[in-house]
Amino acid sequence: MTWGHAAIILIAGIWAGAINSVVGSGTLVTFPVLVALGYSPLTATTSNAIGVAPGSISGAIGYRKVLTGFWPQVARLSVASFLGAICGAILLLSLPKDAFESIVPALVGLAVVLVIIQPKVSRWIAKRREVAGVADPDHDGIPALLLFFTFLIGIYGGYFTAAQGVLLMAVMGMTLSEPLQRLNGARNVLSAIVNVVAGTIYAVVAPISWPVVAILAVGSTLGGQIGAKIGLELKPAVLRGVIVVVGVGAMVHLIMAPN
C-alpha cells in the first residue's frame, strides 16, 4: 500500500464515519474506493465492515444522551440485530454475490418511500392509538413487527452494510412514537452491533486487509464523532431530507454498479 492510497482510504473512512453517524450508508463511500484501489469485492466488503465498526461505536456514543430512558427498548432491538448480523455474515460467505444484492436497490427504494410518508403514517397511527385509549404503547415494549424487520435488516447489514441505516430509520419511524433524533441514536447503536458482529466473523474466516482495517478504523472513529455533532443539530425535517437524499443516492449507486 502506497502513502497515497493510505491517505485516500483515511479520507474515505472519515467521510464514511460521519455519514454513518448522521444517517448510515457510509459503506457507499468506502466500498467503491477500496474496489477502485484494486481490492477484490469480497476483501473490500469484509475489511470495510471491520474498519468502520469503531466509527459506528463512536457515533453511537455521540448519541448516548438522546437515548436516556430508551435503553431497554434499544436492548431488545439489539438482540434482533445481533442474530440478524450472524445470519447475514454467513450468507455473504456461502451464497453467490448476486443472490442477495439483486433485491437491495428495491429494499433501499422502499425505505426511502417509507421515510417520506412516515410523518403522515405516524399521525394516523397516533390517532388510532388515541381512539383505542392507548397513548404510548411503545413505552413498555417494542412491537413484534419492528423486531422482525430489525432482524431482517440485520441480515441485510451483515451481508452488505450499505444503507442499512435508511432501512432502520424507516421501520422505526413507522412503528415507534419517538422523536426522530432518538430513533437516529438507536439506529447508530443497532448499526454498530451489526458491524461489530459481522466484522468479528469476517476476521476469523474471510480474507481481510488489516492495513486497510487499521486506517479505516482511525478515520471512521474520527468521522463518527464529527457526524454525531452535526446530526444532533439537525432539525427533524432536515434530518429526514438527508435520509431521503442518501437513500436515493444509495439506490442509484447500487443499480448502476457493475455486477
Q: In the 3-class helix/strand/coil scheme, how is the chain assigned residue by residue?
A: CCHHHHHHHHHHHHHHHHHHHHCCCCHHHHHHHHHHCCCCHHHHHHHHHHHHHHHHHHHHHHCHHHHCCCHHHHHHHHHHHHHHHHHHHHHHHHCCHHHHHCCHHHHHHHHHHHHHHHHHHHHHHHHHHHHHCCCCCCCCCCCHHHHHHHHHHHHHHHHCCCCHHHHHHHHHHHHCCCCHHHHHHHHHHHHHHHHHHHHHHHHHHCCCCHHHHHHHHHHHHHHHHHHHHHHHHCCHHHHHHHHHHHHHHHHHHHHHCCC
Answer with the residue of higher pLDDT: 231 or 72. 72
Domain count, the chain: 1
pLDDT computed for residue 82 by the predictor: 96
207 pLDDT above the threshold of 50: yes
Q: Check whether 247 has a pLDDT greater than 50.
A: yes
Confidence at residue 37, expressed as pLDDT on a 0 to 100 scale = 86
**Is pLDDT larger for residue 54 or for residue 250?**
54
pLDDT given at position 133: 52
Domain of residue 227, residue span: 3-256
Per residue in 79-129, pLDDT (tens digit) is 999 999 999 988 888 877 666 567 666 766 776 676 677 666 656 655 655
When mean pLDDT is compared over 46-55, 75-84, 240-249, the highest value belongs to: 75-84
pTM as predicted: 0.76
What is the structure's pLDDT at 173?
Answer: 78
Bigger pLDDT: 75 vs 108 = 75
